[in-house]
Amino acid sequence: MSALAGILAQRGFSVSGSDSRDNAVLTQLRQLGVRVFRQQSASTVAAICSGTSTSPAVVISSAVPETNPELRAARQAGLSIWHRADVLAALMNAQPSIAVAGSHGKTTTSSLIATLLAATHHDPTAVIGGIVPAFGSNGRNGDGRLLVAEADESDGSLVKFRAELGLITNLELDHTDYYPNLDALIGTMQRFSRQCRQLLANHDCPVLRRHFKPQHWWSTQQSEGVAFASLARQSRGDGTEAEFYEQGQRVGTLQVPLPGLHNLSNVTAAVAACRLEGVSFAELQQAVARLQAPGRRFDYRGTWEGRLVVDDYAHHPSEVAATLAMARLMVSSGRSPLPQTPKRLLGIFQPHRYSRTAEFLAGFAQALSTADALVLAPLYSAGEQPIQGIGSPALAREIARLNPQLAVAVADSNDELTALVAELSRPGDLVLAMGAGDINGLWDRLNRFQPGDEAPVLLAA
């Protein structure tokens, strides 16, 4: 939403919005002339309408409930209501676009594509779900030919997009509050793919291989039978050296500064998209070596009392497993992009949504069992009603069943979580906070923590 607001403001539209929490993104929007209200009330709509001679349009996301006072006031006033996907679709229809979809990695991949295009002087417009380090924002209003957008599948609205190039990173059941099963998700993604002029997809994903027929495949496992491939020569805790192939022919070497096989796949997809746009490999080779992950994707926040604190958005078992594997590689290889090489891995996880936790309880337990120690935050409901027997204590019991030797602590509140992390962590630890809720406030809470702030430790039995 904030990316769209910024781009529309830069294109001359009068934009207003509301958010009860202030942050750096809102500061940027104010600098662009966006009017920001700190309360969500009917008076906000009245104030906006009174200040204009034209009837404003109201843009909402799927997260806005019908009970929202601003939405109710807008409906009563007879204002036109647009979903955010409608606005993004309108922007995409106005110029050639690359739309990045998939269950995992779409924020990183779309961020990397936009960054590579900008670094090679193609000046893209970008609408991304995370902060792009090269832009300092999640949105960019460029003068180039292309718009790069993250196409979110969580509510099915990506079927409104008609991209010049559609890209699918992988497919796995998620968003079980919307999709009853994997077949429903596949159907939505097939509809999206049919509306793209070309499709680029990940050959390493068995679901994509079985149900899709793109014009172009990419892979990190094989160079034959795919249009683009990156085969790792050396994997380290601070990155990967890989050989890049096109149509089975070696083109050159990529020095990828983002560790982990999942990041190699993301970079391969981004390079492939840029090559289809006609960007030279030599230019991309130089730009890849300077890449950074977007915000909340293994985002180093700082060092607290000798602990390296990292924030990550992982909230699906596959994402948690990939993030922990990357962190483990840093510990085991003795190489890391962090200021120092971590000695131990303390995982902090916040389950996100009752429906997701119930569906993937065993998968989360399996993924989290690879940490050296673990602290579970209270479940973040994202507005869902509770499901009996589902929550962090249930997840702790499942982890204890799989790995009885692993110390698992469960916090009843974020303040207690902070105290537990302070008590159970050691200097030299990588404190890796994972989740899509308010777990990303851990760094700030640690810096406010006083040694006397103690909390009881609840270990999983």
Residues 415-457: tens digit of each pLDDT:
999 999 999 999 999 999 999 999 988 999 999 987 665 544 4
The tokens for 13 are: 């539209």
- Cα(117)–Cα(230) distance, rounded to whole angstroms? 19
Q: What is the pLDDT of residue 452?
A: 61
CA distances from 226 to 91, 177, 208, 223 (A): 31, 35, 13, 6
Q: What is the pLDDT of residue 451?
A: 67
Question: What is the SS3 assignment for 34?
Answer: coil
Residues 181-211: tens digit of each pLDDT:
999 999 999 999 999 999 999 999 999 999 9
Residues 6+ apart with CB under 8 A from 418: 442, 445, 446, 449, 453, 455
To the nearest whole number, what is the mean pLDDT of the chain? 94
For residue 434, the tally of other CB atoms under 10 A from its CB is 28
The amino acid present at 405, given as its one-letter code, is Q
- Cα(152)–Cα(363) distance, rounded to whole angstroms? 23
Q: What percent of the chain has pLDDT over 90?
A: 90
Under the phi-then-psi rule, with left for phi > 0, alpha for psi from -120 to 50, and beta for the rest, what region is 305? left
Residues 6+ apart with CB under 8 A from 387: 354, 355, 357, 358
DSSP 53-84: SSPPPEEE-TTS-TT-HHHHHHHHTT--EEEH
For residue 323, the tally of other CB atoms under 10 A from its CB is 22
- Apex 184 CA angle, 59 and 108, nearest 5: 60
Per-residue pLDDT for 324 more than 50?
A: yes
> CA 21 from chain center: how many Å?
20
Per-residue pLDDT for 62 more than 90?
A: no
Q: What is the pLDDT of residue 454?
A: 52
Q: What is the pLDDT of residue 461?
A: 35
pLDDT tier at 361, thresholds 50, 70, 90: very high
Whether 179 contacts 185, CB under 8 Å: yes
- Cα(370)–Cα(365) distance, rounded to whole angstroms? 9
Per-residue pLDDT for 69 more than 80?
A: yes
In order of start, what are the domains of the chain with their CATH numbers?
A: 2-79 (3.40.50.720), 87-288 (3.40.1190.10), 299-448 (3.90.190.20)
Per-residue pLDDT, averaged over 101-114, amounts to: 97
Residues 6+ apart with CB under 8 A from 79: 45, 49, 55, 56, 57, 58
Q: What is the pLDDT of residue 292?
A: 93
